[in-house]
């Protein structure tokens, strides 16, 4: 039997070969840094959603340990408004905007998998971008197969139907209420398992025409035809310290991806249209907001960074106890096919 260290070394040698064998990206697919979230109040941007009523605005929300509030961020990374609502938020992990004029804030994190229910708060997207206290409605949900940790909430644009995607190394799935079933505020809503999902999903969005469901993990995004999830395209994402969020970009051909942490950079990435789409990977920005840009590093250096990251994840798999290596597993976990919806 091969020793763990020897196996890790062998896999390290294979990483550059696999990466260098990947198809090159077209110039128009190069990701670019759009802005930095420099506001000191945004410390753990866990979700991102493009505004439906305000051009050039994205809504974001902090992870757990924050009050119930959302921030309107412009294309320069500046906060233009803060909406606060009086909910007793526990572990908010996602945010989405519907075509019904609502903002959906998902209190669905459950790292210990001990919560009997999860909650989605619904607030109206205001016409006036100003700091304000807003009213909210709360909807409780539970899973048919026990508790799950989740970080992705998607709102289908044609129907405003909600989908929750669980975050798990194996057994991840998509959950929703039955078709044409409206959630109730008077009782806990019973979710149904719709099909399997990729591993370690941290956020997701639908394209505005409802034709594609886009899911991301810390290092890549997958694009699924909708409905039915019959076609899958995927692409690597720029390296980020804690790659977390995804939202539609300024146009309908790109997405924005964000990271947790202070002064986190937000990148604009073209949605892949062919299986060969493989964008280049800029160096991640440091927590202080400094760091080399893509132009500062050569193509070779980018692959070296990716290879080093792969090796770190491999070593973590052999070194860390099971409970401490979720992020390491995410680096190597392949996208999994899922059943037809």
For the chain, what's the residue count? 341
Range with the lowest mean pLDDT among 28-42, 163-177, 292-306?
A: 292-306
Residue 196, φ and ψ in degrees, nearest 5? -75, 160
Distance (Å, rounded) from C-alpha 253 to C-alpha 181? 31
Instruction: Please name the fold of domain 4-332.
Output: Neuraminidase (2.120.10)
Give backbone dihedrals phi and psi of 144, rounded to 5 degrees, phi first. Answer: -80, -10
Q: What is the pLDDT of residue 134?
A: 98
Residue range 158-185: average pLDDT? 96
- What's the pTM value of the predicted model, to 2 decimals? 0.76
Strand-pairing partners, residue 319, are none
Residue 146 pLDDT > 70:
yes
Phi, psi of 294 (to 5 degrees): -60, -35
In a 3-state reduction of DSSP, which class is residue 160? coil
Highest mean pLDDT among 5-9, 255-259, 276-280, 319-323: 255-259
pLDDT of residue 295: 36
Distance in angstroms (rounded) separating the CA atoms of residues 236 and 239? 9
What's the confidence (pLDDT) of residue 30?
A: 84
pLDDT of residue 29: 67
**Location of structure tokens 């008077």:** 186
Residue 268 has pLDDT above 80, yes or no: yes
Residue with tokens 């690597």: 236
Distance CA 34, CA 293 (A): 12
Mean of the per-residue pLDDT values of the chain:
79
Mean pLDDT of 122-138: 98
d(CA 39, CA 81): 12
**pLDDT over 70 (residue 120):** yes
Buried b or exposed e, range 197-219, using 16+ CB within 10 angstroms: bbbbbbbbbbbeeeebbbbbbbb
**Which of 51-55, 111-115, 129-133, 311-315 is predicted least confidently?**
311-315
- Each residue's pLDDT tens digit, 190-235: 999 999 999 999 999 999 999 999 999 999 999 999 988 778 899 9
Average pLDDT over every residue of 158-179: 96
H/E element, 33? strand 32-37
State residue 54's pLDDT score: 98
**Beta-carbon contacts of residue 124 (< 8 Å; ≥ 6 apart):** 101, 102, 103, 134, 135
Q: What is the pLDDT of residue 97?
A: 98
DSSP result, 228-259: T---EEEEE----TTEEEEEE-SSTTEEEEEE
pLDDT exceeds cutoff 90 at 236:
yes
28-83 pLDDT per residue, tens: 468 999 999 999 999 999 999 999 999 999 999 999 778 899 999 999 999 999 99
Per-residue pLDDT band for 333 (boundaries 50, 70, 90) equals very low
Confidence at residue 141, expressed as pLDDT on a 0 to 100 scale: 98
């Amino acid at each position: 039997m091969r020793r763990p260290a020897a196996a890790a070394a062998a896999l390290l040698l294979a990483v550059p070969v696999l990466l260098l064998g990947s198809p090159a990206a077209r110039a128009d697919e190069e990701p670019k840094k759009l802005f930095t979230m420099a506001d000191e109040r945004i410390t753990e941007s866990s979700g991102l959603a493009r505004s439906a009523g305000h051009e050039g605005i994205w809504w974001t929300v902090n992870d757990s340990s924050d009050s119930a509030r959302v921030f309107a961020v412009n294309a320069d990374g500046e906060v233009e408004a803060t909406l606060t609502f009086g909910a007793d938020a526990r572990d908010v992990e996602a945010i989405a905007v519907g075509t019904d004029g609502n903002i959906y804030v998902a209190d669905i994190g459950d790292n210990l998998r001990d919560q009997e229910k999860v909650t989605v708060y619904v607030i109206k997207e205001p016409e006036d971008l100003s700091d304000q206290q807003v009213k909210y409605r709360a909807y409780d949900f539970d899973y048919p197969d026990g508790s799950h940790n989740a970080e992705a909430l998607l709102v289908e644009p044609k129907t405003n139907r909600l989908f929750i995607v669980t975050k798990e190394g194996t057994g991840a799935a998509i959950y929703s209420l039955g078709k044409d079933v409206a959630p109730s505020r008077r009782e806990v809503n019973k979710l149904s398992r719709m099909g399997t999902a990729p591993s370690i999903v941290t956020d997701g969005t639908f394209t505005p025409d409802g034709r594609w469901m886009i899911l991301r993990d810390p290092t890549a995004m997958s694009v699924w035809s909708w409905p039915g999830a019959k076609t899958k395209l995927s692409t690597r994402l720029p390296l980020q310290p804690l790659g977390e969020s995804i939202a539609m970009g300024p146009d309908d051909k790109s997405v924005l991806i964000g990271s947790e942490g202070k002064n986190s950079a937000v990148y604009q990435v073209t949605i892949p249209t062919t299986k060969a789409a493989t964008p280049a990977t800029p160096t991640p920005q440091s927590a202080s907001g400094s760091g080399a840009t893509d132009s500062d590093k050569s193509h070779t250096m980018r692959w070296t960074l990716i290879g080093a990251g792969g090796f770190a994840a491999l070593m973590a798999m052999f070194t860390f106890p099971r409970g401490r290596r979720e992020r390491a597993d995410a680096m190597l976990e392949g996208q999994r096919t899922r059943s037809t919806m």
